Amino acid sequence: MLWSKVEALTRKEIEDMQLERLKYIVNYAYEKVPFYRQAFDRINLSPGDINSLKDIEKIPFTTKDDLRDNYPYGMFAVPMKDVVRIHASSGTTGRPTVVGYTRKDLDTWSELVARIAFMAGAREHDIAQISFGYGLFTGALGLHYGLERIGAAVVPVSSGNTERQINLMRDFGTTVLVSTPSYAMYMAEVSEEMGVRREDIRLRLGLFGAEGSTKEMRNELEKRWGITATENYGLSEIIGPGVSGECDEKDGMHIAEDHFLAEIIDPETGRKLDFGEKGELVITTLTKEALPLLRYRTRDITSLNPEPCRCGRTLLRMSTVEGRSDDMLIIRGVNVFPSQIESVLMNIKGVGPHYEIVVTKKGYLDELTVNVELADGEMLDEYRRLEELNAIIRQKLKTVLQIDAKVNLVEPRSLARFEGKARRVRDLRK
C-alpha cells in the first residue's frame, strides 16, 4: 500500500515534476539568497540557463562550510517572521550547522516522515517509542510528527535511561522502536540483562537511522528483538529524517524525489556518476522555503538504483550508506570504511556486535587495531580457542581490507555503549 500516489509515478512523470520544481527553486534561491546570487553571477550563470535536469551540472556545489560561513541564518531565504522552527546539528568540530523551517516546510517534513514510516510498515494502531534525543537534533521531532500524522500513538521518551526505556516498552506495549541502530542494540542487551521475556514485549518494527549500519547489524537487531528492522536516512541540512527510507522489501531506501533531486558524484573530481556507481550523494531541495539548497554535498557514500521496486514504488533507491567521505580512513594508503570492518565482524560467530576501531602511528607506519567483544566471556579462559578466533578475524579483515589489523578480543560489556549516534572510530594519528 502506498502513502501517496507520487511514490509510483513513471520515471518520465517524476522527472517532469522535478524539472518544473528545479527551475522554480533555482530562481527562488537566486532571488532570495545572496550567497546563491553571488555564486551564479561569479560564473555568469543565470537561472534561465537551467532548462533540463542535465543543466543542473552547471550549478556549483553547496557545502557544509558554506552553511558554517553563513552562520547562523545567512543562507535562509525567508525573513525570521516566517521561520517557525530551528534545528542544528552539532558536528564534532566548529560551529553547529543551523537549519530553519517555515510552516510549509514543517508540513512537508511531517508528510515525508509519514511516508517513510508508512513505507516501512508503521500504521495507525502502532505505539511508537521515540528513543532519539529530543532537542536540536532533527531525529526525534522529525519522527514524532511523521508518526503522529500516520495516526500512531507516539511515546516521546527521548534517549537515555535505558532500563526505564525497557520498562515503558513493556508496560506501554510499544510496537515500533525509533532509534539509532547502535542504541537499539544496547537496549536489547539491557533488556536481556533485566530478564525481560520476549513474550512481554510487543515490538514488531524498528525504524532505525541517523547513523550507518550494515545489513548484518540490522539482521542481528531483527534476531535479538524479533522484529523487522528497517533503515531510513536524512540530514538536517536537507530536512532531517524523511529524505529516504526502506519499504518492507528492505532493498534500498526510496528517495522522496518529488522534494529532493539526488545525484551521485565522484568526491574527488566532482564529476557526475551513473546509476549504480558508488560515490557521494548530492541533493538539491526542490520545495524548501526557509533553506533551499542547490547541489548540497552530503559527503555520504552510496549509489542509486532506478529499477522499480518489488513493492510497486518507482522512486529511486539509494543503497545503505557505506560511510561518510570524511569517515573514510586511509591506512597505509588503503581506503578503509568502518562499515567494512563491521560487516566482517558481524559474520563471525563468537564475537558480539560491539566493537571499536583504533588507528595509531608507529614511526611512519599506520596501525589498525580492532577491539571486539566476545559473545561469551568464558572463552577468555581458553587460550587456544581465543587464538584461533583471533586468527580467523585477522585473516577475514585482511581479505576484505587488504591490510593487516591487530585484533583484541575483549570481555563482553567492556566497550562503550551509545544512546545516540555511535562513535566507534578513534584515530589517534593526528
Considering the complex, state which of residue 15 and residue 427 has its C-beta at the smaller distance from ligand DLL: 427
Contact stretch for ligand DLL (CB under 6 A) within 29-37, 160-168, 209-217, 407-415: 209-217
The number of CA neighbours under 13 Å toward the Cβ of 17 is 17
Contact stretch for ligand DLL (CB under 6 A) within 137-145, 157-165, 191-199, 345-353: 137-145
Asked if residue 138 binds ligand DLL (CB under 6 A), the reply is yes
Report the candidate in 367, 336, 373 with the shortest Cα–Cα distance to residue 351: 373
Asked if residue 352 binds ligand DLL (CB under 6 A), the reply is no
The DSSP result for 10-70, as a single string, is -HHHHHHHHHHHHHHHHHHHHHH-HHHHHHHHHTT--GGG--SGGGGGGSPPB-HHHHHHT
Distance of closest approach, residue 210 Cβ to ligand DLL, in angstroms: 4
Residue 73 burial (CB count, 10 A): 16
C-alpha angle 324/327/330, rounded to 5°?
A: 125
Asked if residue 232 binds ligand DLL (CB under 6 A), the reply is yes
Asked if residue 300 binds ligand DLL (CB under 6 A), the reply is yes
Asked if residue 233 binds ligand DLL (CB under 6 A), the reply is yes
CB-nearest residue to ligand DLL: 209
Sign of CA dihedral 397, 403, 408, 412: negative
The gap from C-alpha 41 to its chain's centroid, in whole angstroms, comes to: 34
Considering the complex, state which of residue 102 and residue 298 has its C-beta at the smaller distance from ligand DLL: 298
Size of the site for ligand DLL (CB under 6 A): 20
Contact stretch for ligand DLL (CB under 6 A) within 120-128, 133-141, 164-172, 402-410: 133-141
Contact stretch for ligand DLL (CB under 6 A) within 47-55, 226-234, 369-377, 393-401: 226-234
The DSSP result for 108-144, as a single string, is HHHHHHHHHHHHHT--TT-EEEE-SPPSSSHHHHHHH
Q: How far apart are CA 389 and CA 394, in angstroms?
A: 9
Considering the complex, state which of residue 76 and residue 137 has its C-beta at the smaller distance from ligand DLL: 137
Asked if residue 241 binds ligand DLL (CB under 6 A), the reply is yes
The number of CA neighbours under 13 Å toward the Cβ of 130 is 24
Asked if residue 139 binds ligand DLL (CB under 6 A), the reply is yes
Contact stretch for ligand DLL (CB under 6 A) within 5-13, 29-37, 207-215, 289-297: 207-215
**Which residues of the shown chain bind ligand DLL in the complex (CB under 6 A)?**
89, 137-139, 209-212, 231-236, 240-241, 298, 300, 321, 324
